[in-house]
Amino acid sequence: MNGKTPLKTRAAAKAAKKPRKRLSGEERRAQIVKVASGLFSKKGFKGTTTREIAKAAGISEAVIFKHFSRKEDLYKAIIDSRCSDNEGGPRLIGMLKGKSGREVFMTVAVYLLEEHQKDPSFMRLLTYSALEQHSLSELFLKTRAMELLGFLEDKIHELIRDGLMRDVDPALAARAFIGMVDHYSIGQELYGFKRYFRRPLEEVAESFVDIFLEGTRR
């Protein structure tokens, strides 16, 4: 058992116990953001302690405060990393340009359902943020949500002008569509609906697009 370290047992034990990886500032920062993000999404900002974050990251609390002077700053760093341009939003809008009506709505539905399914923690984070009135939801609203709704609104307007849709309120119709899709994901992930009810992602998307497009067809 202790054959290797008959003497110096304390130092040896310590060394054995802690194969401590020493990370660079940037690496550690990113790790903390990732760990905290996961915890905040599960338990909320108030519900997560800096101690827990430190423990989960395998470091002492002081390290967190070397990188983020306040717990609140950690939240902001998470926002930046989650809402940064390299992932998400812009990609979707880019995918939509030049597509036909049905293709647009189908793409949006599949994209949103896939995103939620791939990473349900973001939706939780966003919802917590909205409730706790942090800026994440505000930022997300103004960058992502509004952009997508605006795009759909324009598209609907265009379809109406071209006589392909009935004369519905474009803003309301856009929200109706996003509502169907988002609310489905929220039900599955937050309210535990998936225990009672589950459909293949494509089937869900197809159904919603059908209902929406038939409902708005001229």
Partner DNA sequence: CTCTGGTGAGTAAGTACTTACTTTAATACG
Partner DNA sequence: CGTATTAAAGTAAGTACTTACTCACCAGAG
Binding residues for DNA, per CB under 7 A?
Answer: 15, 18, 20-25, 28, 48-51, 58-63, 65-66, 69-72
* Closer Cβ to its own copies, 107 or 121, answer by number: 121
Tell me whether residue 43 or residue 99 sits nearer to its own copies (CB atom).
43
Cβ closest to its own copies, residue 12 vs residue 186 = 186
Q: Which does 72 bind (CB under 5 to 8 A by kind): its own copies, DNA, none?
A: DNA
From the CB of 121, what's the least distance to DNA, in Å?
19
Smallest gap from Cβ 5 to DNA, in A, equals 12
Residue 210 contact, options its own copies, DNA, none, Cβ 5-8 Å cut-off depending on partner type: its own copies
* 149 close to 174: Cβ distance less than 8 angstroms: yes
Assigned token pair, 105: 């709505």
User: CB of 137: closest distance to DNA in angstroms?
Assistant: 20
Written in H, E and C, the secondary structure of 78-126 is HHHHHHCCCCCHHHHHHHHCCCCHHHHHHHHHHHHHHHHHHCHHHHHHH
Residue 74 burial by CB count (10 A; 0-12/13-18/19+): exposed, middle or buried? buried
Provide the residue count of the chain. 218
Nearer to its own copies among residue 12 and residue 141 (C-beta):
141
DSSP state of 194: G
